[in-house]
Amino acid sequence: MKKIGIVGATGYTGVELLRILATHTGVEVSIVTSRANAGSRVDAMFSNLRGYIDLAFSEPDVEKLSACDLVFFATPNGIAMQHSKVLLDNGVKVIDLAADYRIKDLSVWEKWYGMQHATPELVESAVYGLPEINRSHIKPANLVANPGCYPTAVTLGLLPLLEKGVISAEGIIADCKSGASGAGRQANVGTLLSEASDNFKAYASDGHRHQPEIAQTLSLLVGKEVELTFVPHLLPMIRGIHATLYTQASKKYDLQALFEKRYANEPFVDVMPEGSHPETRSVKGSNICRISPHRPGNGERVVVLSVIDNLVKGAAGQAVQNMNLMLGLDETMGLTAPAFLP
């Protein structure tokens, strides 16, 4: 059994990691840290874990964390970059679920995240943890930057089209909708039930941190800058991301075949039958991304629908998928339960 540490597990990605790892047969969670809650039991905060996680939160401690095989940072942005170097030096593998190592261009990162990077030297070597494009690099990696939730849904929806040159790299639109858990477990008026549960709105339409992350991945894929408009919206529900992607492609391409072929061997990408409208609930609690490409009226306009659970394939599940790859375990271990419907 590999030993796992989780730094900062009091948020939604943290509790979701714990839920998934609670029944994972290849690893055991040995340390769960939280400065603010040190000493109190994990299952006092998250009662779904009663009987599963027999641990108290502890102060973050480099020595104890260094006894782990792999440490997840489920912390806010700017924390992992301060503490991962010493762990890596001590031979511990690290997965950051925040954004510290996602953006290769430091000036872009610093602009969007509003701070100076503490360990720029690690940024270059960090592997972007989207297995569908980087599996071979993730396996030997010591430091993996787990992708953002929106970037996962959008990138998987555009990959087959961009890789094959079927669409242009310009004028792409990603109209995205996310459940409120994406905003985290922070006391905040804007995401109170009374504010957000009978409401729908766009936000950050003039710029969101996930835009440069998506653009970077797509641009690397096609070898030139991809121009993408990204508008996120807040859904009155807890989990789920739905990306509605607009682009254009010559009528000669069979999009359904293209997607099916591209993802034929991917354990966590499901190309739905032609004409489907993937539902967020069809992936609730699961690590699967379901996708369906459309051509309204059989024209050149292409609409790709892509759904994930933002806390699973968009965060903790993908992190476990990366962990499995990094530790030489079966990639799907701990991630095989079907989604939860209704």
Among 63, 121, 124, 206, binds a second copy (CB under 8 A): 206
Q: 292 forms bridges with which residues in the sheet?
A: 305
Among 88, 108, 327, 339, binds a second copy (CB under 8 A): 339
Using CB under 8 A, count the residues that bind a second copy: 85
Which residue lies nearer to a second copy by CB, 139 or 281?
281
Q: Does 212 bind a second copy (CB under 8 A)?
A: no
With beta carbons less than 8 A apart as the criterion, state whether 11 and 37 touch.
no
Which residue lies nearer to a second copy by CB, 136 or 199?
199
Q: Answer yes or no: 149 catalytic.
A: yes
What b/e string do you get for 104-129 counting C-beta neighbours within 10 Å, with b at 16 or more?
A: eeeeebeebbeeebebeebbeebbbb
Query: How far is the C-alpha of 259 from the C-alpha of 246, rounded, in Å?
Result: 16
Contacts (CB under 8 A) with a second copy, residues 252-271: 270
CB of 45 to a second copy, least distance (A): 10
CB of 273 to a second copy, least distance (A): 8
Query: How far is the C-alpha of 93 from the C-alpha of 163, rounded, in Å?
Result: 30
CB of 132 to a second copy, least distance (A): 16
Among 62, 67, 115, 192, binds a second copy (CB under 8 A): 192
Among 54, 164, 188, 224, binds a second copy (CB under 8 A): 188
Contacts (CB under 8 A) with a second copy, residues 27-46: 44, 46
Among 140, 165, 207, 328, binds a second copy (CB under 8 A): 207
Q: Does 128 bind a second copy (CB under 8 A)?
A: no
Query: How far is the C-alpha of 68 from the C-alpha of 91, rounded, in Å?
Result: 9
SS3 for 257-315 is HHHHHHCCCCCCEEECCCCCCCCHHHHCCCCCEEEEEECHHHCCEEEEEEEECCCHHHH
Q: Does 195 bind a second copy (CB under 8 A)?
A: yes
Q: Does 333 bind a second copy (CB under 8 A)?
A: no
Query: How far is the C-alpha of 336 from the C-alpha of 83, rounded, in Å?
Result: 32
Which residue lies nearer to a second copy by CB, 223 or 297?
297
Query: How far is the C-alpha of 245 from the C-alpha of 298, rounded, in Å?
Result: 16
Which residue lies nearer to a second copy by CB, 239 or 262?
239
Which residue lies nearer to a second copy by CB, 121 or 193?
193
Q: Does 328 bind a second copy (CB under 8 A)?
A: no
Contacts (CB under 8 A) with a second copy, residues 287-326: 288, 290, 294-297, 301, 303, 305, 307
Query: How far is the C-alpha of 130 from the C-alpha of 243, rounded, in Å?
Result: 17
Among 67, 200, 225, 254, binds a second copy (CB under 8 A): 200
DSSP-based three-state secondary structure for 249: strand
Contacts (CB under 8 A) with a second copy, residues 88-117: none
Among 282, 287, 318, 324, binds a second copy (CB under 8 A): 282
Query: How far is the C-alpha of 116 from the C-alpha of 122, rounded, in Å?
Result: 14
Instruction: Find all residues with CB under 8 Å of 282, minimum gap 6, and list them.
Output: 290, 307, 339, 341
> Burial, 226: exposed, middle or buried (Cβ in 10 Å; 0-12, 13-18, 19+)?
buried
Catalytic residue among 68, 149, 176, 289: 149
Among 66, 279, 327, 329, binds a second copy (CB under 8 A): 279
Residue 65 is encoded by which pair of tokens?
A: 């964390």
CB of 250 to a second copy, least distance (A): 16
Query: How far is the C-alpha of 228 from the C-alpha of 246, rounded, in Å?
Result: 10
With beta carbons less than 8 A apart as the criterion, state whether 141 and 326 touch.
yes
Contacts (CB under 8 A) with a second copy, residues 166-185: 173, 175, 177, 179-181, 183, 185
**Which positions are catalytic?**
149
